[in-house]
Structure formats: structure tokens, C-alpha cells
Amino acid sequence: MTSQFVVHLGQEAIFLMLQVSAPMLLAGLLVGLSVSILQAVTQIHEVTLTFIPKILAVSVALMVALPWMIEKILDFMRNLMRLIPTLAS
């Protein structure tokens, strides 16, 4: 196992983490931005108003994207398991 292989594996893991977390982060970002615009337009500055829509949006995004996320993580783990015999030599 070379240092290049370890760096490449780390890069793949970080990229996978970004891919898997993107649906929830984007949902929270879009809902937060739209609630903030709504608050600015209506001048309603209730702090708790932003939390419930964000929580609901992130939960829905998680439920929708969960099968895809699991498949991506399982593919990554399957590739790691396939590499184990080559790492021992």
C-alpha cells in the first residue's frame, strides 16, 4: 500500500461524504433562504420560524435520498472489500 493509494482512498471517501450529504444540505439551504426572504419581505423576525421548515425539508430530503445514499455507501464498501486481497501483498 503506497501513500498515493491512501491519499486517493481518502479523496474518494471525502467526495462520497460530500455526495451523500448534499441532498440534505441543499434542501436546508433552499428552505432557509426562502424563509429568510419571506421574513425580510414581511418583516416578521421570529427566530423559531426558520427551524421547523428546515427540519421538515431535511427530513423529507433524507427519506427521498436514503436509498440512493445507502447504495452509494455500499458500492464504496464493496470496492474496499475487493481491494483487501491486493493490499495484503
Q: Which of 3, 6, 20 is nearest to 75 (CA)?
A: 20
Query: What is the band of 89 on the pLDDT scale with cuts at 50, 70, 90?
Result: low
Q: What is the grid cell recorded at 39?
A: 421574513
pLDDT per residue as tens digits for the range 36-49: 999 889 888 887 88
- Domain, as residue range, for 41: 3-88
How many C-beta neighbours within 10 Å does residue 64 have?
A: 13
pLDDT per residue as tens digits for the range 22-32: 999 999 999 99
Query: What is the band of 12 on the pLDDT scale with cuts at 50, 70, 90?
Result: very high
How many C-beta neighbours within 10 Å does residue 57 have?
A: 20
Q: How many domains does the chain have?
A: 1
C-alpha distance from residue 42 to each of 4, 8, 39, 46 (Å) = 54, 49, 5, 11
Q: Given this model, what pLDDT does residue 45 score? A: 80
> Which of 1-5, 10-14, 27-31, 55-59 has the lowest average pLDDT?
1-5
